[in-house]
Amino acid sequence: MRVACLLVPDLPLVAERRARPELAGRPLAIAAGPGPRAELLAVSPEAARARVSTHQSVAQARAVCAALEVRVASPALERATRDALLDAALSVAPRAELAPRGTGAWLAEARVFADATGVAALHRSETGFAAALAARARALALPAAVAVAGSRGAATLAARHLAAEIPARLRAEGGAVRVLSAAEEQAFLASLSVDLLDPDDALAEALLRFGIRRVGELTRLPRAALATRLGPSVLPLLALAHGEPDALPIAAPREGRLEEALDLEWAVDRLEPLAFVLRGLLARLLARLAARRLACGELDLVLGLAGGGRDVRRIGVAAPSLDPRGLLGLLRLSLEARPPTAPVEHAALATEGRPLRPGQLDLFRAAGLAPDALGRLLAELALLCGEGRVGTPAVADDWRPGAFLLRPFEAPPAPEAAAPAATGGPAVLALRALRPPLSAEVRSLHGRPERLRSAVANGHVLRAAGPWRTSGAWWSREERFAYDHYDVQTSDGSVVRLRHDLLHDAWEVDAIYD
């Protein structure tokens, strides 16, 4: 098996710059928390040149570099960036998986393994494949080091070595790629520092005490003797150092949900700034979808509100789309229709990636609405009429009188041939529903209506058909129903559907024949 490892060594920094591209080229540091005493977790090369380093406090860093931009580490942003790295891998490789988070000195790195077996035929060489991976990562604003080797461990060590050798600026410009053939792998690994193996503190100290600096010095020692002296925790390190092949293949990707999130430094209480934040989230989400050749389906927007509340909303998209303007328009319409009840401190936007619907235009038929235009139209109609009042009607599989369904409208593709329409026959009598039903005064004789007074029909009942009984939900006190239905014609010419509520002994007109 051949494995490629995409590695971003300074995840908090990269995540912040991906969310705020305007910070590029400026001294930037990521702090563990708010306040001047918070410890710095990552610093940009520009900040490092100004003698800012990790483990300083924010106050110390500002003392040596007044122009330093400090941001608080955002787990949501880092999670989205790790997922974006996986998307970059999946845009080139058939199988890819996120590596578990590193520890110790490698806590801030993000790694993704991609299956590189047999890719040389597609990309001319493994180097071409690795270069393609690096390019896709760069397109998503992720300067990654890419190494290809015979196992996950060997690829990780090579990528870590590469990331340490090549500065972030060069990775961002041209990428950093290393391919280890099977023949050179052992020799290459032997030359690396043992620190790349990520030993825990006790083991690192023991190795230092033994005078072991390089991986080769470790692999030359007998495995059993090392395990006896250093404990079983050294065995995974030895497997890594030997570049032992992996027991498990790289898992196939899950059809996943893509999410972008951002913690805001200040709570936003107006729509315009919030729309600006959402535009950035949407742009990053769409870039990830485009990398995987998917389009945006329904959008789930979660807003964290000041005071601990949450505003969760689902925005329907008429057809999968990659149009940022149209989708942002839908988000704005939703927020205008129902503004958040408190200032927003956190925003997350998620979607299920869907394949773009292929369409074939008809030469003799007018083109229908573009999906994004349809989505915008539906959102505007929902804004005018209210949520849940616009959609495709459907007949409900329910005996309850007046039951119906309203589904999201999705324009179906034009049929191959128009269905033949009947001509010449009589029209079908239709009902006009009265929602809610109108109460009626009915004088009855032997249980049958004789005279009717209501807002829609009045007078003597000339003809009456029925009753037909419907009843159901007898197990529920609130929902149970039992009606006797009649079709009646009154002396004012109206033909209506009348029902007698047997549970409450009340009469109602629930529809007009028209």
447 binds other proteins per the rule CB under 8 A: no
Nearer to other proteins, 81 or 454 (CB): 454
C-beta closer to other proteins: residue 271 or 438: 438
- With CB under 8 A as the contact rule, the residue among 63, 182, 208, 455 that binds other proteins is 455
Query: Which residues inside 78-117 make contact with other proteins, applying CB under 8 A?
Result: none
Stretch that binds other proteins, among 206-214, 253-261, 298-306, 412-420 (CB under 8 A): 412-420
Candidate residues 105, 373, 482, 502; the one interacting with other proteins per rule CB under 8 A: 373
Question: What string of DSSP letters covers 108-158?
Answer: T-EEEEEE-TTTHHHHSSHHHHHHHHHHHHHHTT---EEEEESSHHHHHHH
Q: Which of 24, 107, 405, 506 binds other proteins (CB under 8 A)?
A: 405
Non-local (6+) Cβ contacts of 193 within 8 A are 213, 214, 215
| 11 residue type, one letter | L
Residue 81 exposed, middle or buried by CB count within 10 Å (0-12, 13-18, 19+) = buried
Site string for other proteins, 308-347 (x = CB under 8 A): ----------------------------------------
- The residues, ordered by sequence, that sit 6+ positions from 256 with a Cβ below 8 Å of its Cβ are 352, 353
Q: Does 411 bind other proteins (CB under 8 A)?
A: yes
> What is the spatial distance between Cα 457 and Cα 459, in angstroms, rounded to a whole number?
7
Site for other proteins in 347-366 (CB under 8 A): 365-366
> Does 368 sit near other proteins (CB under 8 A)?
yes
512 binds other proteins (CB under 8 A): yes
432 binds other proteins (CB under 8 A): yes
Least separation in angstroms between residue 268's CB and other proteins is: 30
- Told to check if 431 binds other proteins by CB under 8 A, we report yes
Rounded to 5°, the CA angle 494-499-504 comes to 140
Measured from the CB atom, the residue of 1 and 433 that comes closer to other proteins is 433
* Residue selected from 59, 235, 433, 503 as contacting other proteins according to rule CB under 8 A: 433
Angle between helices 75-90 and 271-291 (to 10 degrees): 30
The reply to whether 305 sits near other proteins by the rule CB under 8 A is: no
Q: Of 432, 430, 490, which Cα lies nearest the Cα of 457?
A: 490
With CB under 8 A as the contact rule, the residue among 385, 473, 503, 506 that binds other proteins is 385
* Span near other proteins by CB under 8 A; candidates 20-28, 71-79, 236-244, 402-410: 402-410
The answer to whether residue 498 forms part of the interface with other proteins (CB under 8 A) is no
**Min dist. Cβ of residue 374 to other proteins (A):** 6
Strand order in the sheet with 344-354: 257-268, 344-354, 295-305, 310-315
Phi-psi map region of 22: left, alpha, beta (phi>0 left; psi -120 to 50 alpha): alpha
Nearest to 413 by CA among 356, 361, 353: 361
Is 141 within 8 Å of 134 (Cβ atoms)?
no
Is residue 498 within 8 Å of residue 442, measured between CB atoms? Answer: yes
Least Cβ distance, residue 412 to other proteins (angstroms): 5
Cis bond upstream, residue 436 (ω within 30): yes
Among 224, 418, 445, 476, binds other proteins (CB under 8 A): 418
Build a one-symbol-per-residue string for 228-257: x at contacts with other proteins by CB under 8 A, - elsewhere: ------------------------------
Q: How many CA atoms lie within 13 A of 486 on its CB side?
A: 23
CA separation (Å) from 94 to 86, 89, 155? 11, 9, 18
- Does residue 406 touch other proteins according to CB under 8 A? yes
Contact by Cβ (8 Å): 512, 456: yes
Tallying the residues shown for the chain, one arrives at: 514
Shortest Cβ 279–other proteins spacing (Å):
24
Please say which residue, 394 or 473, places its beta carbon nearer to other proteins.
394
Size of the site for other proteins (CB under 8 A): 65
472 touches other proteins (CB under 8 A): no
Residue 394 engages other proteins in binding (rule: CB under 8 A): yes
* Residue 506 interacts with other proteins (CB under 8 A): yes or no: no
Q: Find the helix or strand (DSSP H, E) in which 18 lies.
A: helix 11-19
C-beta of 299 vs 390, nearer to other proteins:
390
Of 122 and 384, nearer to other proteins (C-beta) is 384
Q: Of these, 422, 445, 447, 478, which contacts other proteins (CB under 8 A)? A: 422
Which has the closest alpha carbon to 155: 203, 183, 188, 106? 188
Q: Whole-number minimum distance, CB 479 to other proteins, in Å?
A: 21
Contact between 210 and other proteins by CB under 8 A: the answer reads no
Find the shortest distance in angstroms from Cβ 434 to other proteins.
5
Helix (H, G, I), strand (E, B) or coil at 204: helix
- For 505, the token pair is 């002994």
Q: Indicate whether 409 belongs to the interface with other proteins (CB under 8 A).
A: yes
Q: H/E element holding 42?
A: strand 40-43
Q: Which residues bind other proteins (CB under 8 A)?
A: 365-366, 368-369, 373-374, 377, 380-381, 384-386, 389-396, 404-406, 409, 411-412, 414-415, 418-435, 438, 454-457, 463-466, 487, 489, 493-496, 511-514
